[in-house]
Structure 1
Amino acid sequence: MLSIIDIGSLTIALSLYIYAARARITDVVLFGDSYTAADGGVQWPWYLVGGAVCSNNLTPLYGEPDVSSGQQAWFIQDHIEAYNTSRQKLLLDPSSFVVVQFIGTNDVGIGSFLTADQAANVSLPDVADCQLNSLRMMHALGARKFILNSLIPLQLTGLYSNSSAPTIYYPQVHDGNAWNKGMYNLVHSLNRILSDGIDVLNAEWVGDGHVEWFNTYDLFETFYNNPALYFNGSIPANVTGHCHQCPDPNDYTKCGIGDCTLTERDSYMWWDELHPSEQTGRNLAAEIFRKIEGKSQY
Structure 2
Amino acid sequence: MFRVPFALILALASTAIFRVASARITDVVLFGDSYTDQSRAHSISNGTYPGKDYQEVYPPADTAADGGFQWPFYLGLYGNYTIWNYAVGGAVCSNALTPLLGVPDVAVGQQAWFVQDHVAHNGTRSQRLLLDPASFVVILFIGTNDVGINNFVTNDQPAAVSLPDVADCQLDALRALHALGARHFVVNSLIPLQLTGLYGGSSAPVIYYPAPPHNGTAWHREMTNLVQSLNRIVRDGVRALDAEWRAAGDGGSVQWFDTYGFFEEMYYHPAGFFNGSIPANVTGHCHQCPDPDDWRQCGIGDCTLEERDSYMWWDELHPSEQTGRNLAAEMHRKIEGKSKY
For normalisation by structure 1, the TM-score amounts to 0.90
> Is 2:150 the counterpart of 1:124?
no
1:253 maps to 2:317: no
Alignment match, 2:307: 264
Which residue pairs with 2:238 in the alignment? 198
Identical-pair percentage: 72
CA distance in 2, matches of 1:160, 1:104: 15
Alignment pair present for 1:29 and 2:69 = no
| Contact persistence 1:25–1:96 (CA under 8 A) | yes
SS at match of 1:201: helix
The match for 1:187 is 227
User: CA contact under 8 A between 1:94 and 1:145: conserved in structure 2?
Assistant: yes
Moved more, 114-123 or 43-52: 43-52
* Paired amino acid for 1:200: A
Q: Are 2:276 and 1:237 aligned? A: no
What is the CA deviation profile of residues 193-229 of structure 1, one whole-angstrom value per residue up to 9, with x for unaligned ones? 0010012212322232000000000000000000111
- Deviation string, structure 1 residues 144-197 (Cα, Å, up to 9, x no partner): 000000000000000001110000000022100000000000000000000100
2:69 is aligned to 43
Whether 1:153 aligns to 2:196 is: no
Superposed CA offset, 1:90-147 (max 9, x none): 0000000000000000000001000111122000000000000000000000000000
- Counterparts of 2:24 and 2:323, CA distance in 1: 25
| Structure 2: gaps spanning 5 or more residues | 1-21, 38-63, 74-84
Residue 225 of structure 1 corresponds to 268
Conserved 8 A contact 1:146-1:211: yes
- CA 134–48 in structure 1, closer or farther in 2 if over 3 Å, else same: closer
Aligned residue among 107, 116, 135 for 2:146: 107
Name the counterpart of 2:327.
284
Equivalent pair of 1:40/1:244 in contact (CA under 8 Å): no
Q: Structure 2 length as normaliser, TM-score?
A: 0.79
Residue 23 (structure 1) shift: 5.0
Residue 49 of structure 1 deviates from its aligned partner by: 1.9
SS at 1:194 equivalent: helix
1:61 aligns with 2:100: yes
In 2: Cα distance, 1:158 partner to 1:43 partner: 21
Secondary structure of the residue that 2:139 maps to in structure 1? strand
1:35-82 deviation line (CA, Å, top 9, x unaligned):
113523331699962100000000001111000000000000110001
Partner of 1:74: 113
Q: Greater CA radius of gyration, 1 or 2?
A: 2
**Distance (whole Å) between structure 1 residues aligned to residue 102 and residue 66 of structure 2:** 24
Structure 1 stretches of 4+ moved >4 Å: 44-48
CA-based RMSD: 1.5
Query: What is aligned with 1:210?
Result: 253
Corresponding residue SS for 1:63: coil
Residue ranges of structure 1 left out of the alignment (5+ in a row)? 1-21
Q: Which residue of 2 aligns with 1:15?
A: none
Is the partner of 1:34 in helix, strand or coil?
coil
> In structure 1, the residue corresponding to 2:35 is in which secondary structure?
helix
TM-superposed CA distance for 1:84, in Å, is 1.0
Q: State whether residues 23 and 292 of structure 1, in contact with CA within 8 Å, keep that contact through their aligned partners in structure 2.
A: no
Q: Distance in 2 between matches of 1:96 and 1:23?
A: 9
